[in-house]
Each structure stands twice: as structure tokens, then as C-alpha cells.
Structure 1
Amino acid sequence: METGRAPVRRHCVVLLSTVAATALLSAAPAIAQDQVAAATPAQPVPAQATPPSPDVQATPAQSGDAASDLDRLEQIIVTARRRAESAQSTPLSISAVSGDQLQQLNIVRIEGITQLAPSLRVTQASGSGNAPAIYIRGIGTLSTALYVEPAVGIYVDGVYTPRPSGNTFDLPDISGVEVLRGPQGTLFGRNTTGGAILLSTRNPTADFGVKADFSYGSNNEIVASSVVQLGRIGNSPFMAKVSAQVHTRDGWVEAPGYSPSKWGGALDSFGFGGAIRGEMGKFTVDLRARYNDLISYTGWEALAGTAVGDAYFGNSGIANGRPFPIGIGPRDYSYRDPRTDGKSEVKTWGGVGTLEYDFSPAFQIKSITGYNTIDQNLRGNIGGGSTLGVVANPAVAGQFIEPVTAHATPNNPGKQKQFTEELQLLGDLGDFNYLVGLYYYKENVDETITTILDSPLSATTAIRLNRSTSYSIDSKSVAGFAQLGWKPSFADGKLEIVGGLRYTEDDKTLNSKSISTTIATTTTTQVRSDKWHNLGWMGSISYKITPDVLFYGRASSAYRSGGYNAPTVGAPPFGPETARSYEVGLKSDLLDRHLRLNLSAYQTDYDDLQVNGYNIATNTNQLTNAGKARYRGVEVEAQAVLGGFRIDGNVGYVDPKYSEYIIAVAGVPTNVASQAKFANVPNWTYHVGAQYALETPSSGKFTLRGDFTGKGNSPTYVLISQAPNTAQVPNYGVESNFSARLMWDFQVQGHKMRAQVFGENLTNNRYLTFASDFGAIMSGVWNRPRYYGISIGTEF
């Protein structure tokens, strides 16, 4: 089965590439000729006061001078408060990214948005190289396990998708991204103590159209996508679209004995989607579905070890001709344990049905029904390498030499099924606007984690632990929420006061079983049920000092559900995490909208902060409630445009501090707040980009753009006492990415065309994206080295 999958997927790449190429050629038959007819520059899209959908849109403001509008910053329409409004008029910290920006920067996966908002870090989650781990203002989680719920909520077309492995899809048809920074507990509910990210796909259109793109780059990376707008269905009010994308690349962390298509860093992905939308006067029906199948391989490398761990794995590698290098890298080289092929596969299905009826401006009703499933198997050589060594309890009696590694996962199947329903009632009544809603969430997860761990007893001998843990968690959550806004007439729309409440109740049931074998076999089981509830709140006040300058203050709370450390059978549950945030900000469009400057300062206080780490005593990942922590920070976003020159940038600074962190030291509860660190949390995040566009009457528009994105150094550990090997690798390393691209937008026979040459990580900066101490060995994953590519696309 495995040997045939890659060729089949490669054929899919060729097929979709052929479709994209056919679309390109049909749009541009004159390209093959010696001379190309003069192209007419694209005309600006007329501005819209109110968007026809919740898509994030970048539109020029209306004025009498269309040419002047093109020389100004776009107005971005967002739905961060569940209604369409300008991002610059929304009193909260939000970074909005249009689909055109994603395309221009060649961002095809969700981790690419890390450069586009301050205080945002998207890195690799543990266990699987395909799942994004998202941190906002220092709050997030690294685990891909299905029992862990993240602190940043991801919403796709209005539906919450809680599992990192369920967000592994590419972005072929995204109309926009909204990054909401800070707690969002009233409107977006549980598990948004760090913030929320809203992804919107494009609406079907009444007219037929095709968008096709193809790119090729380093590591034989191919990305081919097509979006076909099917237009109106007959004479009905319904419109439809379909989309598909293939993304495949070779890896860069060599695994001897495997082809580059299975080295660490390789991926092989296919996805498609579809939508039908009907607009029947006041009533709108919108149905959307998507599917994605992604295979990936993660290149773990050994970073450090205990004295006995270094000696045992190092000596075994030398004695048996399978080197097990240990130390700071990257080496981009690691033997893979023969008991696992390292292949992680995640299949996701998602569907959403949205019904809207506008009775009047005073009363509208909206229903959002969602269904998501995940079918995954996350296999990997997490121990950072493999060799042959002597074990005291051989798998085959008398044969003491066998494959050994610090941590291997030969099999880790898991499934998730989720149903959600949200009902909203909203409208405007004089000076007031309101939103009232009910929310229901039901989920079942099942996972079996099979691991092999070799723990050295001496420099020459280890003992093997085989463990299989199976668990099932059933979750139900119900919530009611309300928000009321007031824009008093006497203030001429300059003043707005908003308040909101949300009540949430969670019920969870755990059923787990673990079988562990060394010399003897031990079986443990656990069954329990728990309930948690929370009352969240939000209040804000904003005032427009001028029509283009907004000052606001905001206070809010959020709640992250409690849960279970399912792989550690018998462990007590961890409790909910709660946050209280206080923020002030300024949003401004200056110099006739040639300069945009947004500022914010905040403090967020967390109780029972959930901290993730590897427990070397139980050899499992565990979430614990750290106690109390305070996060303070400031953020700056700026953009400027002058003619064909544009510059944009952002800076985020966060200063987290534990005020209480209680753990048992020699059996005595002890506050270790002064010793604890904030793993994976850089103090600084920053980005600056600049571009110059030159438009010619005959050849189209040429744009040269450069970007620099950076993250400060961040710790690899929370407490050295719980992960002693991290003392040898205390930090992930400073992230810095210089990128450059040359873009050409032109027309051929009335069809829009685009081409691009790009380079990423031009300085070849290497840093760790994930690291964990497994006891005898600490291992980690390094970022992708320098790479280049070209792309071509069309729309007609």
C-alpha cells in the first residue's frame, strides 16, 4: 500500500497541473507567439459600502477620483463582531488579511500567516509536521493529541475547528483571514483565551469564472490549484463553485533507505471543496463542504542527552554501523526506526450550512450548522534517530540486539467527530444594535497511542517499554450569549459603548485503558465524568476623535475548557483556564489615508493557566494547571503608501510572568514561579515589508517586494527540573526570514495573468520549531532551509 501511494499522488499532481496549465493556455494563446498584443491594465473594482458576504475584503474607499483611490490604503471589511464593518472602526486588536495578499506572498498553508500580525507565532505542533501550533500574545499549545483543546480558536466559514490536525489544509480559495488578538470569550466562546483566527472561503458568483495557479520550487515542491465558479444554476437563485488543490514536495532531512519523497519535511496533500449559495430576496442559503488528505514526514533529530543516554545510543551506533548523532544541528540527517515508517496521514472532512433571513434592519435571524471529522494516524520517530543496541528484554528471546530509539510511535490512529449549531438573532434598534445567540457543541474523539521507548540502564544496555493507550472522550457544550451596543445620537456616531455576556457549560466523559510491557505486563483503566461552567463578560468604549482616528478601551474574559491527560491513565483532570484582559488602543488613517498606524497595550491575567510539557517520569505529554500568570504587552501595526511604493510592518512585545506555580517538590506543594519559564513564547515578534510597483501601458505591472520576519529567542522548557536535558538546549533560536519576490501582472486577450519568482529564508537561518525532552534523549525539529520557486496563474 505504501509503495504505491506516492506514484498515485504524483499522478494527481500531474493531472491537476495539467488542468491548471490548460486553463492558463486557454487564457493566453498568444503567449506562444513571437509577439504579444498590448495588454490593458486591470480596472479598479468599484467600492462597496456593505459587502455581500462575510468575506474579508480590501476595497478602495469611495470618492470622486478613482485614480486617487488607488493611491490610498484599502478599507478592510471584517466580521470580528459577527457583523460586517470596517476593521479600522472595530474596537479590538484585529489584523485582517485579504485573499489577494495571501496570493501575493505565496502563502498556501496556515503557518504562512505568522508574519502578518503582531504577537502571532505559528509553529509546528508535536507529533506531526503537518499540524500548526498557534500562539497569540504568548498563549497557545503545542500538542496534536485529540484530548488537548487549543487556546486559540480557529473558525472556518463560521464553524469552530478545535483540533490542530484538523487545520492542516492548504489555502486555495480563502477570501480572507482575520486574526483577533486577546481573549474572545463572549462572541467566540470557549478555548479563545489567546484569541481567534477566522478563515473565510470565497462566495460562489453569478458568472462563470476560473482561477488557476501553478508553482514549482526547491525540493521538487509543486502547488497546483484551480477554483471554478460555475455561475448561476439555470434560472434558479442558486450559484455554485468547486475548488481543488494538490501540494507535494520532497523532504530535506535525509532518512537513509528512503526516497526523498519520504524524508523529513516531505508532504503530499490533496484537497477539494464546493459551495452552493442561493440568494432569494431576504432569505439566503449557503452550503459549503471541503475534504483534505495530507501525508507528511517529520525530520526529528537528537539534540542532547543524559550521560548514559549519550553513551548508550552513541556507542550502539558506532558498534553496529548505524550512527546516532547527538548534538546541536541541524544535520538534516537521521536514521528512521524500522518499526515505524514515519508517515503521518490526516484526512479531514468539513461542512457548514448557513441560513439567513432578514425580516428588517431591526430583526435578522441566522443559523450556522457545522459538521467536521478527522481520521488521522500520526506515526513518527520522535526520539530523533534509531540504531541497533543491546536490550535486557529482547522482543525475540535470545536475540539481545534489536532496533532502539528513545521514542517511536509505530501506530497512532485517532478519529474525531464534531457537530455544532449556532443560532443568532441580531439587528439595529435606533441607537442600539444587539446580538443574542445560542450555541451547541457535541464531539467524540477516539485515539490509540502505541509507543516504543528504550531507556538506557547503562552505557551498554537498555530496557524496552511497549505501551498502548486507548481512550475515548465524549464532550458536550452549551452556551448562551448576548451583546448590546449603543451609539448615542447626541455623539453623532462618534461614541460607542458595548457590553456582552456568555454562559458556558461543559460536560466530558473519559474512558481509557493502557497496557504497558517491559518484563511483565500491566493494565490500567479509568472511567470518569466531569462538568465545568463559566460566565464570561466583555465591555468596551470607543470614540472617534476624528472620522479617521479611533480610540478605544476594552475589558474582557475568556475560558478554556478543562479536560483529561488521557494517555496517563489514572491522572486527575486538569481544570479550566480563565483569562481577564484589559486593553487600550488607537486606530488611525492619516495623511488622507496614505498612512495607517494602529497601537494597542494590554494586560491579561490568567488563573489556572494550562501548561503543556513532556513528563519524563510517566513518558507522556501532560497538561497541568500552572497557577496564576500575568501577560503584558504592546503592539504596533503600520502601513504607508505613496504612488507605487508601499511599506508595512508590525511589532509585538509580550512580557509574561508567573505569580504562582505550585508543584510537588519532595512531596511538598511548592511555589516555583521564580524558576518557571514560558516555553515557546518569544518576547518580540516583528515584520517589515516593502514593495515598489511599476505599471506600464503595454507590459502590465511589475512589483518587487522584500520582507523580513523575525521572532525573538524563546525557552524550550518550563522547569529544568522536569526536563533536565533542556539545560543543554535552553532556547529555540532566533527566527528570521528574509524573503523576496518579483511579480508580474499582465493581460493577454482580456485575461488576467500573473507570474512570480520568489525566494524564502534567503539567509538560510535555521532554528528549532519544536523540541522535547524524552528522558535519555532530547530531540527536536528544525525549520526548512533556504528555498526558491516560480509561479504562474490566471483568472478569467
Structure 2
Amino acid sequence: MSHRHLAMAIAVALSAATHTAHAAPAPASNARAGDAAASARDPARKSATTSVTNLETVKVTARRYEETLQDVPIAVTALTARALTDDNVQNLSDLQGLVPNLQIGPTQGTSSTLTVYLRGIGQNNPLWGFDPEVGLYFDGVYIARPQGALLDVFDVDRIEVLRGPQGTLYGKNTVGGAINYISKPLPTHATGSVTATLGMHATKDLKVDYGNASKDGVWRFRVAAASLHHGGYGHNLYLGGPTSNQDVNAARVTLGYFPSARFDAQLALDGEFDRSAPPGGAQLAVIPFDPAQTQGLPSRYDTRSDQAPVNTTDSGGGALTLRWLLGEDWTLKSISAYRSSNSNMNIDVDTLPVSIADNNLVYHSHQFSQELQALYDNGSDLHGVVGVYWFDGYAEGINKYALLALPPYQQLGYSLYVGSGGSVDTRSLAAYADTTWRFAPRWSLEAGARYTHESKTAIIQNDTYPNANFATPNGVQADFAGSTAANNLSPKLTLGWKASAAVNLYATASTGFHSGGYNIQANCTAIPASCRPIKNETLLNYELGAKMSFFGGRLMLNSALFHALYHDIQLSVYTSYVQPNGQRGFFGDFTNAGKATIDGLENEFAWRMGDRWTLSGNLSYLHPRYTQYLSGGVNIASTSKFTFAPKWNGGLTLWKHFPLRAGGDVAARLNVTYQTLAYFDQNYSPVLAQGAYGLVNAGVIWRTGGPWTYSLEGSNLANKRYRTSGYNIIALGMITGYYGPPRMITASARYKF
């Protein structure tokens, strides 16, 4: 899309919005599409009600204080606890299709390591010490590492997905956006529930929660646990046992102290333990180095791996949150948090009972963060937040990989055994402020900025070994310690215009940065440039948005049109080199692509068509392209593409409600999602790429009007075969794909008390 065409599209969008400015009164917003402005302590704004024909009103904290969804001048999708249940969202990967321009799921070869892309921006390499480009926040705490970050959905109040750079309020590593996972609040009386689920592939899930408070409400607590299991989608035909199964246990405990209306303290602890087997990878091409020239299997989940099925991750942490109300206008908040994760994973990239490309990865990370916030709201024309943030994170690990470790390559001296080990220590200090001023009845101006100073210290030791024992090294690829520092200022400016009681328009210029560092897998001997620091990414985003409501709040339409300038893009690639014996080798490298431009359009809508019918959905368009990408001194921008960036994606959900005379109701849901071609590697392999596809999902929920709720859910009902990620290692002629879940049908019963 040229600048001229983009400007024309913006003008058309604003013209359409202003022509409908008087179409309806103020909206009651929906769980999937928008935002609205309301102070947490303003009773007039807290009293929004919803009729049986209106859409649900949703509160969000996208700007660090509570507002209703439909007025917040951010492209954000929020799903409440009920919406998550109704849409059968079991973990974060199920958000795909419900959120515009979102690609999310497990990293290739793992079960709980998170890969997430928003608007074509993300990071597909989960190596320790290298940060994702979409920030994940669990109850206000930044989770720095992707291992164990594919959170399961239980005991949740809502999930917010903020699209576009969030560098001012959320800081570094949110160039693509941010995801807020928010647990249920502490109760003031006894409440709880038990949910049991059975289904295909031997699914057996149990989720329980209970909360209570002392009679005076001073002490409050909540406990929740989930035990999630299914038998897998395939088998290891060589070693036996399942692949792609689930074996996860998780728990959360929160204790609160509320001695007065002006002060409270909450201590939250959580832990998750994943013992699932590795996912089955599908061999998509005959590997030239395989002596048997083995063909791929018909099943996309079966494997013939000779590596032990190791895929464990333990993660968790704790947070202490303190809140003080100072007078009528100020609130102080402190969040002190610690988190850690440990993982041990075998990834057999070749999927065969021979060692062509076998990996063992052992990671450990821990982090401490401290955030202090001061929130101001005078109840009329001015509100905002100022804060300081400190982060101290440590990540270490070792990746042992064996290449061509089989006859005849061992005898020819072509086998390569490498141990890539080291650590990265990251320290960040940031200060930020963001203020919104309603300077006229229909106009508001939001201005903010965040200054960050970050330093990274890396110790890298990459050695070669004579055999798979990895005992005594016989060569060095990298052995150094390095430090690098970054200073960044991320400003934001938003102009809002309430065109009518039903139409809110905004124009935003926002920024973000993603910190660089060092490549843990660097090979200084073969490629000296791989041991230099990786540059920081920066992104400048211009956005126009419209949040509109019609027919007395029964129809809501939210749109965002954006144009982003992306600089020093960090890319994970496989770089080949020639070994002393003349054989080609490769290693996981990082490079900075230079410049890119990203244009896009996002639409969300929800329509309550009457007492019994609801239709909602989203549609997004994405057009990213490199403008400068130097490789070997040659600009290859015109032939390069973004990964995990389908041009079109969207979803549509139709609900029919059947009220019951005896009380309660039955609701039936039909959902379809669709996306166009997506590439998963920087070599843009057409074999590995996933072409356009759609999924069909459905569900029936019976709420009895009493404590019981029953549901029958089906996902991927057409049993569509679709890839979600993979490996393309050109030096070995190896292409391995990983696939989304097959057809799944489950039945659940929930008892609430």
C-alpha cells in the first residue's frame, strides 16, 4: 500500500465514521472488540448496565487504570471470563482467530514455550537471553522468558490483547503489543467452582477454585488448581509412547489484607509443571543425508524419533501488590515480583531413528522486578499515571546438538557435535508518565513518554566435541564475555474526539523498542560478525481508530488503520559455513534486517440481533514489506517476506440462545476462522509454508439457572490439517513441520457454589 493509497484509506475511514456520528446513543461494549473511559472510583461511570438486547460492558486496565472498553484509544481486544469459557479458550493459543492480526501458539518442538506475533512482529527463537517482541503480563508482572509462558486459562477474570507498540506504559519488548492475563479478584464471601472435562484423545481435565473472606472482609484468600491431561495425537513408532500429549498441573494462591478502604496488600503465588511428551514433527521432505532415504509418515503427529521423550518445564513465581489511596485524587501502587523457570527439552528435528539433527536444550531463568506507580484522577478532565520500573533478570542454558552423527558421516569426519552454553544478565531501569487531558467536552489529548536504560552482560562458551558424550571439547566456536547498553525514549501522543455519544475517534503516534544483546549460539570462528552485539529494534506507529455503537448499543464496530516504520529488525536465521573438512555446517544466527514498513487494517464487530441471536467477528489486513535488508552487501528487501504474517485473517461467531421456562438457557455457537498464506522461516520455503485455510468450531452450553453448567465443545470439526511452525535447514536439506490439533470434542460439567 503506497503512502498515497494509505492516506486515501484513512480519509475514507474517518469520513464514514463521522457520517455515522449521530446514529446511536452511548454503546455498551463487547468482550471482543473495544474500550471506554471510566475512572475506577467514579460511581457514575461504574453503574453501566446492560439490557437483554445490549452487549456486555467490559472493564479493562490497558492504560494501567480501570476504564470501560469502548472509549480507550487503543486497538485492544478484551475477553471476559465468560467469553473465554463460551469461546472454549483453554490456553493462550486458542486466542488465534478471536483477535485481529494475532498469531500465537507453542514454539516448534515444544508444548509450553510461547511464540506470539502481533501485526507481523514477533520472535520465533526462544533461546535464553533473547526477549520476545510481544510482552506478556501476568497480573501486572512482565514475564521475560517464553518457556512456560503458554499459559493455561483457569481462574481468569479477563485477557486483554493490546495491538501496536506499547513502549510508553509497558516498556521494552512490546514493539508488537502486549498481552495482559488477569486473574479473578479476591472475593468478599465464600465462592468457588469445580469443572470436570472428558473428551477425545483421552482428555481428562479438572479445574477447581475456592475463595473466602473473614466476616469483616479484612482477610481474603483464593486458591485455584488445574490438572490437564490428554493422551496425545500421535505415537513414537520407534520408541513407543505418545506424542503431542498434555500432562500439566498448575496452582495459584492469593492472600489479601484489606484493613481499610484506603490500603490493601495482596500476595500471589503460582506454579505450573509440564510433563507433556514432545510434539510430533512431520517430515516434509526426504533428507539427502539419510542413508535409507526414508519417506515421511502419513500422520502429521507420528514420529520415529530416537531421542528420549523429554519435554519438561517448571515455571512460577510470586508477587506482592500494595495499594494506597491518598486523598480523593491519588492512588499509589507497588508491585514486587519474582519469577523463575526451568526446562529440559529434546527436539529431534529429523524425526528419524538416526542422528541427523538432534538437540537437547536445558534452560534456567529467574527475574526480579519492582514497579512503583502513582495514579491520578480528578474525576473530571485529567487522569494519568507516573511510575518507575526496575528489572533484574538472569538466563542461562546449554544447547547440545549433534549433526550427521551416524555412519557413514562419522567415518568421513563430517559429524558435528556442538555445545552452546552461556548466560545473559539483564538489568533495566525505566521511568514513565502518561496523562490524558479532556480539554473540551468532546476532545481529549493523551501524552506520555518512557525512558529506559538497559544493560546486558553475556558469557558465551560454544565448543565442538568429538562425540555425543559432550565430555571434552576439541574445538572452540565462541569463548567471550561481552556487555552492551541501550538508552531509549519511547513517547506517545493521542488525540481523541468524541464525535457523538456513540462514536469515538482517535489518532495516535506511538513508539516501542526491543532490546538487542548477544547471540548465544554465535560462531566467532566461522562468522566473526555473529559475535558482535545485535542492534536494538525500534518502531514508530501511526494509527487512526474508530469505536462506534449503533441501535441503542446493540451493534458495535471498532476499526484501526495503521502505518508503522520498523527499524533494525532482529531476525533469527540459520547461517551456513564451510568446515575445515569441506563439509557445510550451520548455526542459529541473528541478524538485523534494516528497515520495513507495515500497513494494516483491523475491524471487530458484535451485533446483538435480538433476544436470541448474536453475531460477532473480526477481519484484518496486513501488508508488511522490507525496504532495506542487506545480506552480503546486497539489498534483498524485494525478495524477502515477513514470517507469521498472513495478509488476511479473521473469524465469525454466531450464537443462538434458547431461554428455558424452568429457568436458565441453552446457547449454541458456530465459529469459523480463516487466514491466508503464512511463512514460518526466513528461507520462505513453500513446502513449510501454510497456505490459506479455515477452521470450523462449535459448542452448546446449558446453564441450568442453578449451580450447574454443562457444555459440549468441538474444535477443528472438519479435522483440517494445518501447520503452525517448523524448521527449514537448507544445509541439511531438512524440512520439518509442526501441526495444530486435530478434531477435538469434549464435554464439561461445572458446579458453582
The two structures, once aligned, show a CA RMSD in angstroms of 2.3
Alignment deviations for residues 462-513 of structure 1 (CA, whole Å, 9 cap, x no partner): 732222121111010011111121112xx32x21101111111110001111
- Residue number in structure 1 paired with 2:401: 451
Task: Indicate yes or no: 2:372 matched with 1:423.
Answer: yes
Structure 1 counterpart of 2:512, one-letter code: A
Compared with structure 1, are the counterparts of its residues 272 and 53 closer, same or farther at alpha carbon in structure 2 (3 Å cutoff)?
A: farther
Decide which of 755, 767, 770 is 2:725's aligned counterpart.
770
Partner of 2:254: 275
Counterpart Cα distance in 2 of 1:740 and 1:382: 34
Name the structure 2 match of 1:437.
Answer: 387
Instruction: Say if 2:736 is the partner of 1:779.
Output: yes
Identity of aligned residues (%): 25
The answer as to whether partners of 1:180 and 1:197 remain within 8 angstroms in 2 is: yes
What does residue 192 of structure 2 align with? Answer: 210
* CA distance, structure 2, for counterparts of residue 745 and residue 83 of structure 1: 33
Partner residue, 1:289: 269
Tell me, in whole angstroms, the C-alpha distance in 2 between the residues paired with 1:290 and 1:792: 25
- Quick one: distance in 2 between partners of 1:220 and 1:561? 43
Matches within 5 A, 1:55-70: 61-62=48-49, 69-70=51-52
Give the conservation status (yes or no) of the 8 Å contact 1:157–1:201. Answer: yes
Q: CA deviation at 1:331?
A: 4.1
Distance 1:691 1:60, change over 3 A: farther
Q: Which runs of 5+ in 2 are unaligned?
A: 1-35, 468-472, 525-530, 578-584
Structure 1 residue identity aligned to 2:332: I
Preserved contact between residue 420 and residue 442 of structure 1 (Cα < 8 Å): yes
What is the CA–CA distance in structure 2 between the aligned matches of 1:100 and 1:602, rounded to whole Å?
30
Q: SS state of the match for residue 203, structure 1?
A: coil
Which residue, out of 349, 352, 368, partners 2:319?
A: 352
Which residue of structure 2 lines up, in the alignment, with residue 316 of structure 1? 292
| Alpha-carbon distance between aligned partners in 1 of 2:206 and 2:38, rounded to the nearest angstrom | 33
**Distance across 2 between alignment mates of 1:51 and 1:706:** 36
What is the rounded CA distance, in whole Å, between the counterparts of 2:644 and 2:437 in structure 1? 40
- Of residues 711, 715, 720, the one that matches 1:756 is 711
| 8 Å CA contact retained: 2:683, 2:728 | no
Equivalent residues of 2:135, 2:142 under 8 A apart: yes
Q: Contact 1:124 / 1:142 at 8 angstroms: preserved in 2?
A: no
Matched, 1:408 2:358: yes
Distance 2:488 2:113 in 1: 29
Quote the Cα distance in structure 1 between the aligned partners of 2:242 and 2:586.
26
| 1:644 matched to 2:612 | yes
1:369 pairs, out of 315, 336, 340, with 336
Contact kept in structure 1, 2:220 and 2:255, CA below 8 Å:
yes
In structure 1, the partner of 2:528 is: none
Contact 1:505 1:533 in 2 (8 A): yes
TM-score, structure 2 as length reference: 0.88
Question: AA paired with 2:235?
Answer: E
Residue 303 of structure 2 corresponds to residue 334 of structure 1: yes
| 8 A contact 2:308–2:346 mirrored in 1 | yes
One-letter identity of the residue aligned with 1:497 = L
Cα displacement (A) at 1:146: 1.6
Counterpart residue identity of residue 702, structure 2: W
* TM-fit CA distance, 1:50: 6.9
Measure the CA separation in 1 of the matches of 2:356 and 2:83.
43
Aligned to 1:386: 352
Matched with 1:634 is: 601
Question: Displacement, 1:255?
Answer: 0.6
Alpha-carbon distance between aligned partners in 2 of 1:177 and 1:294, rounded to the nearest angstrom: 22
Find the counterpart in structure 1 of residue 703 from structure 2.
Answer: 745
Kept in 2: contact 1:60–1:72 (CA 8 A): no
1:710 aligns with 2:674: yes
Q: Which residue among 488, 495, 499 is the counterpart of 1:541?
A: 495
> Which of 478, 482, 487 in structure 1 is aligned with 2:433?
482
Give, in angstroms, the shift of residue 548 of structure 1: 1.8
Q: Which of 548, 553, 564 is the aligned partner of 2:518?
A: 564
Secondary structure of the 1:316 match is coil
Q: Residue 456 of structure 2 is aligned with which of 508, 524, 527? A: 508
Q: Which residue does 2:156 correspond to in 1?
A: 174
Kindly indicate whether the alpha-carbon contact (under 8 Å) linking 1:448 and 1:468 is maintained by their aligned counterparts in 2. Answer: yes
User: Does residue 122 of structure 1 match 2:121?
Assistant: no
Distance 1:263 1:732 in 2: 25
Q: What SS does structure 2 have at the residue aligned with 1:412? A: strand
Write out per-residue CA displacement over residues 400-421 of structure 1, whole angstroms, 9 at most, x where no aligned residue. xxxx233112x32211010011
Which residue of structure 2 aligns with residue 578 of structure 1?
538
Residues in 2 aligned to 1:499 and 1:106: alpha-carbon distance in whole angstroms: 38
In the TM superposition, what are the counterparts of 1:53-132 in structure 2 within 5 Å? 61-62=48-49, 69-132=51-114
Which stretch shifts more, 141-150 or 123-132? 123-132
| AA in 2 matched with 1:511 | I
Deviation at 1:569, TM superposition (A): 4.5
What SS class does the counterpart of residue 374 from structure 1 fall into?
strand
Q: Does 1:497 align with 2:445?
A: yes
Q: Any idea what the Cα deviations from partners look like across 1:606-639, whole Å, max 9, x if unmatched?
A: 0001112233445332321110000000011000
Change (3 A) 1:615 1:219: farther
- The yes-or-no answer on 1:595 pairing with 2:549 is no
Deviations 1:298-352 (A, max 9, x none): 11122125xxx43x42x426xxxxxx3248x654322111xx2132111011211
Tell me how far apart the structure 2 counterparts of residues 767 and 59 of structure 1 sit (CA, whole Å). 44
Q: 2:628 aligns with which of 660, 667, 672?
A: 660
Describe the shift of the 1:515–1:49 C-alpha distance in structure 2 as closer, same or farther (beyond 3 A): closer
Equivalent residue of 1:592, what SS? Answer: helix
- Give, as a single letter, the amino acid of the residue that structure 2 aligns with 1:208: A
Deviation at 1:739, TM superposition (A): 0.5
Output the CA distance in 2 between the equivalents of 1:251 and 1:568: 36
1:381 to partner: Cα distance: 1.2
Q: Per the alignment, do residues 206 and 428 of structure 1 end up closer, same or farther by CA in structure 2, a change over 3 Å counting?
A: closer
Correspondence for 1:693: 657
Normalising to structure 1: TM-score of the pair? 0.83
1:605 aligns with 2:565: yes
Q: Distance in 2 between matches of 1:455 and 1:684?
A: 42
1:522 counterpart residue number: 475
Is the contact made by 1:614 and 1:772 (CA closer than 8 Å) also made in structure 2? no
Q: CA deviation at 1:712?
A: 1.2
Matches of 2:238 and 2:272 in 1, distance apart?
A: 29
Equivalent position of 2:750 in the other structure:
793
* Equivalent pair of 1:138/1:681 in contact (CA under 8 Å): yes
One-letter code of the match for 1:702? V
Deviation at 1:53, TM superposition (A): 10
**Structure in which a larger fraction of residues adopt helix:** 1
List runs of 5+ in structure 1 lacking aligned partners. Answer: 1-47, 318-323, 388-403, 721-725
Deviations 1:432-478 (CA, angstroms, capped at 9, x unpaired): 22311101000001101111111799899873222212111101001
Specify whether residues 50 and 635 from structure 1 end up closer, same or farther in structure 2 by C-alpha distance, changes over 3 A only: closer
After TM superposition, the structure 1 = structure 2 runs for residues 213-232 of structure 1, keeping only pairs within 5 Å, are 213-229=195-211, 231-232=212-213
Give me the whole-angstrom Cα distance separating, in 1, the residues matched to 2:41 and 2:173.
26
Per the TM alignment, residue 708 of structure 1 is displaced from its structure 2 partner at its CA by 0.5
Contact kept? 1:203, 1:277, Cα under 8 Å: no
User: AA paired with 1:177?
Assistant: I
Letter of the 1:608 partner, please give it: D
**Is the Cα–Cα contact under 8 Å of residues 483 and 501 in structure 1 kept in the other structure?**
yes
Give the Cα separation in 1 of the matches to 2:409 and 2:395.
41
CA 1:49–1:122 in 2, change beyond 3 Å: closer, same or farther? closer
Task: Indicate the SS of the match to 2:148.
Answer: helix
Equivalent position amino acid for 1:316 in 2? A
